[in-house]
Each structure stands twice: as C-alpha cells, then as structure tokens.
C-alpha cells in the first residue's frame, strides 16, 4: 500500500510538471521568438502602425505623454438641416497628429430625437488624412420627414428638435471606436433651412 502511494505521488508530481510545461512552454517560446517586438504581443498591428508616428519603442514616457496631450478631439461645426428634403449634415474638423497618414474607413450612427425616437441614419465615405493635416469630415444623411413632422406637431411650443447620435461607430485604420450617445444640438422643427 505504501509503495502504491509513493508511486501515485510520483505520477502526481510528473503530471503537475507536465501541466506547468504545457502552459509555460508556449508563452516562453512566443516571448523568445518576438523578443525584438514585445510591444507587438500586447498591441494589435493597427495600433502599432498608428503609433509608428510617435517614435520608436525606446520613446520615453514623457515623449509619449507629450504626443497624447497633442491629440485634439474632433470639433463639430454648424448643424445643417433642410426641412423640405430631410437632408442632414454636420461637419467635423479633424486633425491628424501622427507623422503617418490615417484612413477613416467608416463612420456610422443612428440619429434620434431627444426622447430616443429614431429619425434616420448617417454615414461617411472613406477618406485618408495626411500627416499633420486637418480636414472637414462631413457627416450626412436624411431624416424621416414624417417622424420629424409628427414630433414637431407634438411639441408645437418648442423652437427646435433636440437630436443625438447613438451607436456611433468610427473605424480609423482598423481601430474601431464605439460611442453610445453624442448630443449634437437641435434642428428647427418648422420650415426653412438651418
């Protein structure tokens, strides 16, 4: 009996060592193979390409901090709305702070009223932004006129209709950003062009 217990203890120790080797071995192997690009183990290639404009992997924390402090949020322009056609447009001024060009592959969102009634969708054609350049990204779409008119009739004392973008999806060089909601202002509820 004692001999069996010693034999089982050796088997248990052997299996434990084998399990550790199975888990640790591939990790050590990948680190060894990628030893010249350890950052690539953590960041996807899209981020690595975008950050190549920042500096090398040897960039100091202060250099990286300086870079990220120079990133500017897109600035929204004047909301445009034509009540006769339902055409909706909102320009954004975007600056590329990188020393490499970036591609805006997709911008899409749902346009909703202040009380979450769907009004329409927006999208943007793909575009490329040169290093250090600023461009106007025109987000455009058409709003459902029947819904806008119905909301205007229900809120006849209001001077305009508050609108938001929901489920905003932005794809820049394969890096996808999702924003749940973004208030963009109001459109005139009755006649004319804003």
Rounded (5°) CA angle 172-177-178 = 145
pLDDT, one tens digit per residue, over 82-130 is: 878 888 888 888 888 777 788 888 888 898 887 888 888 888 888 888 8
**Measured CA distances, 53 to 39, 58, 59, 102, 133 (Å):** 15, 13, 11, 10, 14
**Structure tokens belonging to residue 170:** 């932005």
Exposed e or buried b per residue across 36-61, where buried means at least 16 C-beta atoms within 10 angstroms of its C-beta:
eeeeeeeeeeeeebbbebbeeeeeee
Domains, the chain: 2-67 (no CATH), 72-188 (2.60.40.10)
Per-residue pLDDT of the chain (194 residues; tens, 9 = 90+): 666 677 778 888 989 999 998 999 888 888 888 777 777 777 666 666 555 555 554 454 555 565 566 666 777 788 788 878 888 888 888 888 777 788 888 888 898 887 888 888 888 888 888 888 888 888 888 888 888 778 777 776 667 778 888 998 888 888 888 888 888 777 765 444 44
pTM of the model: 0.60
């Amino acid at each position: 009996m004692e001999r069996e217990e010693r034999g089982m203890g050796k088997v248990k120790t052997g299996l434990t060592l084998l399990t550790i080797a199975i888990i640790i071995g591939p990790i050590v192997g990948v680190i060894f193979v990628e030893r010249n690009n350890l950052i690539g183990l953590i960041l996807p290639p899209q981020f690595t390409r975008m950050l190549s404009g920042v500096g090398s992997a040897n960039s100091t924390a202060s250099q990286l901090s300086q870079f990220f402090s120079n990133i500017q949020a897109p600035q929204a322009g004047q909301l445009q709305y034509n009540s006769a056609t339902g055409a909706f447009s909102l320009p954004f001024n975007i600056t590329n702070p990188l020393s490499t060009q970036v591609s805006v592959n997709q911008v899409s969102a749902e346009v909703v009223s202040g009380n979450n009634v769907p009004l329409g969708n927006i999208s943007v054609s793909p575009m490329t932004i040169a290093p250090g350049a600023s461009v106007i990204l025109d987000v455009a779409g058409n709003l459902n006129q029947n819904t806008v008119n119905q909301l205007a009739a229900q809120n006849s004392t209001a001077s305009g209709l508050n609108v938001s973008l929901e489920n905003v999806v932005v794809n820049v060089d394969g890096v996808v950003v999702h924003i749940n909601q973004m208030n963009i202002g109001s459109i005139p509820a009755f006649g004319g062009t804003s």
